[in-house]
Structure 1
């Protein structure tokens, strides 16, 4: 999320190949992951035959015993723990932002100061855009949460709107939905060698149109739950460059948090500019684990 530099090339359209699902491949992983490979058999955004991304289908870094439920579709309604809950997912950036530089460079009030409406986001060195990653994980996360009974809303989806939305609008969408929990999905663009994930919590802000005082405490609980479950399910380690190894960071310069009136956090799922993290982020099996880990943190928070 944080990388905006002169050597960032706008994401270009890519042609994706769909690899076969083999018996030998299924034998390499726990039975709980088989459902993921079924998804991979029909392909997922960001996977170019997997080999091109330098990743293997065994999803290096995924916990050997992730607590994954392949499907809750056949469960009776009273077994769906999120029935009646509303979750808003904010996929960071937008794949077409680079075509709307004037619009996304417009400044908006985030309470503590004025910032750009949005940015292009970062990408891996091979050109896999952060916005592609965030949308893919958001779709996976939505499916998991809906299977558990939640009402899920995305701040944008499938090119609608055509750019953005601006960070203040993203916060307003969660507020208007009266979300029980909201999360913004990102991946970082730090220097190579900086690895790991971190969850960003809202600081206490009371300035301009921002007042986070009521959501600081519940957001911290949400963030801690997500940090713990994300680490356990994915095997990804907390950031080695921010957060002092806790996987948690508090910030007051993000409009999506400052302007939220519902419990909300950001997650930087890994560093796209580091080759080892990029190998995970470009792997569809690992992205499914990422969505699962995030979902389990949200469930833990909503169930109290």
Structure 2
């Protein structure tokens, strides 16, 4: 998933050293805070943020463009467990027994072949927005949809081992979608204790790192996030801290002012949620260094572990 520069929340933000240290102490877990303090003391000078560039190969909102070519491309082994959109029960004696978690693999491999369908507008509460997008891809054609489904399967296996009941929003068996409003409804109807939407970003070369997207306080139409803003922030902060520890990856250097957290009000999947929910952008598929990590099976396992650890920390708080 990449950013529309017309959205205020999409613009990179950078804060001064003093303010950043204060924000870190208040917002992020110890593991993430330690990294950020070091970054604040040794990072680049100046307050001018880098520009997030649009990608011509990205299917952006309402602007169809050429899809990244899937060939030639390397073969990236996927997780072996099969996914199912119906709940899958875990170890009944595990610490997360009785907890329902919804995992939302971002995008769908078929979206590239159904651009007219995914460009249809749906109600996201505050306005209308495209059903979905194609997602992004690495330069050699490893798509975001492939990445998100692989990490989601790994994540499910880890959560089930701890006893959680895991539900997917889709099992890669649909021609396209589901749309963002349907993804939100699946989480709501399941009564999930937590929902995590797995993504990878598509930004400019040099923009690196992960970030967790949190719901803003919005109210309009079917959208009312008042009850989930606080819990979702707690969930997001815990995932960010555990993700640093598990993967060794740094928080984004282009979104979130170095905190690894970004608050947005333009995402229907968050606006329409009535249960705690966050998105995680695991890295930038368009940066060669980040792409090398995202294409690594062992790194994807670490990414899944970090997300699982964050969810577990939140559910057992």
TM-score by length of 2: 0.75
Does residue 237 of structure 2 align to residue 203 of structure 1? Answer: no
- 1:5, CA displacement in angstroms? 4.2
- 1:227, CA displacement in angstroms? 0.2
Distance 1:85 1:13, change over 3 A: farther
What pairs with 1:78-227 in structure 2 (closer than 5 Å)?
Answer: 78=93, 80-159=94-173, 161-227=174-240
What pairs with 1:43-54 in structure 2 (closer than 5 Å)?
Answer: 43-44=77-78
Note if contact 1:11-1:129 (Cα within 8 Å) is conserved in structure 2: no
Note if contact 2:211-2:251 (Cα within 8 Å) is conserved in structure 1: yes
**Residue in 1 aligned with 2:257?**
244
Count of residue pairs brought into register by the alignment: 249
CA distance in 2 between partners of 1:166 and 1:11 (Å): 23
- 1:259, CA displacement in angstroms? 0.2
Note if contact 1:201-1:266 (Cα within 8 Å) is conserved in structure 2: yes
Distance 1:152 1:217, change over 3 A: same
Pairwise CA RMSD: 1.8
What is the DSSP-based 3-state SS (H/G/I as helix, E as strand, rest coil) of the residue aligned with 1:146?
helix
- 1:158, CA displacement in angstroms? 2.9
- 1:6, CA displacement in angstroms? 3.2
Note if contact 1:231-1:237 (Cα within 8 Å) is conserved in structure 2: yes
What is the DSSP-based 3-state SS (H/G/I as helix, E as strand, rest coil) of the residue aligned with 1:292?
helix
Match of 1:12 among 58, 63, 70: 70
Q: Which segments of 5 or more consecutive residues in structure 2 lack a partner in the other structure?
A: 4-53, 59-66, 80-89
Does residue 298 of structure 2 align to residue 299 of structure 1? Answer: no
Note if contact 2:91-2:97 (Cα within 8 Å) is conserved in structure 1: no
TM-score by length of 1: 0.78
- 1:111, CA displacement in angstroms? 1.3
CA distance in 1 between partners of 2:73 and 2:285 (Å): 20
CA distance in 1 between partners of 2:71 and 2:131 (Å): 24
Note if contact 1:86-1:179 (Cα within 8 Å) is conserved in structure 2: yes
Note if contact 2:212-2:278 (Cα within 8 Å) is conserved in structure 1: yes
What is the DSSP-based 3-state SS (H/G/I as helix, E as strand, rest coil) of the residue aligned with 2:122?
strand
Match of 2:289 among 276, 285, 288: 276
**Residue in 1 aligned with 2:39?**
none
CA distance in 2 between partners of 1:163 and 1:13 (Å): 20
